[in-house]
Amino acid sequence: MNDSGYLQKVFAVLGDPSPVSRDPSMWKDLEEYLGFILPGDFKEIAEAYAPVRLNGHLYLLHPTTERWNLKEEIAADIEALGDLDWDEVEGDPRPSLGIERMEFGTRTGLTPIVSADSGQTVFLANSPHGCGWRILIEDGDGEFFEYAMGFSEWLYRYLAGEDVFGPNSSYFYPGPVALQDLPMSPSDHPMTRYGPPRDGTL
């Protein structure tokens, strides 16, 4: 199945999009900052649902909002990650990326796009062999795991409870997916809504 197929499966699982309308043209500022075009399936999912927390753990942000701003979060992550010593990481991604030193927020490096409150960070990476986008996970302890799939497939498999945060990382939340629309001001209260009913295997 291609990215388009998994994108439609994600939409089917998550249900109605956020009631807040966003301006798709605002991705341009983030992409100019990064120097490359983000994958379309990631943008479509974020455009429809972000800023949101999925099943109480996974944060998906948007580049147009004042709070929970994706560009600001990426920039902060890039700065923090650049200050770390990556010479002895487990599952060193540099050979797979075809680079000699760790790069973040570049066309040839890793770009952080999603985080979980359990400590993991989800990165986008481009294949040096022209095979498309991949997902790399940093598990919060400096160990990387690579998944040869696009974002929509990764997200679908995550919501299905598969091991896509590293070995033995799966946890399936039964019932509809919980979507918590993140507060836009300090006085807002997070609103939780639910996707359509599903069976135990999605």
In this prediction, residues 109-137 reach a mean pLDDT of 88
pLDDT of residue 141: 82
Sequence-distant (6+) residues with CB within 8 A of 59 are 51, 52, 53, 68, 114, 115, 116, 117, 182
pLDDT of residue 105: 93
How much of the chain exceeds pLDDT 70, in percent? 93
Q: In this predicted model, what pLDDT tens digit does every residue of 91-108 receive, in sequence order?
A: 788 888 888 888 899 999
Q: Does 41 have pLDDT greater than 70?
A: yes
- The label of the residue with tokens 């040096």 reads 128
Instruction: Identify the CA nearest to 49 among candidates 7, 11, 4.
Output: 11
pTM attached to this predicted model = 0.91
- The β-bridge relationship of strands 191-194 and 178-181 is antiparallel
Q: Does 160 have pLDDT greater than 60?
A: yes
Q: What angle do CA 143, 148, 150 make, to 5 degrees?
A: 105
- Rounded to whole angstroms, how far apart are CA atoms 97 and 46? 25
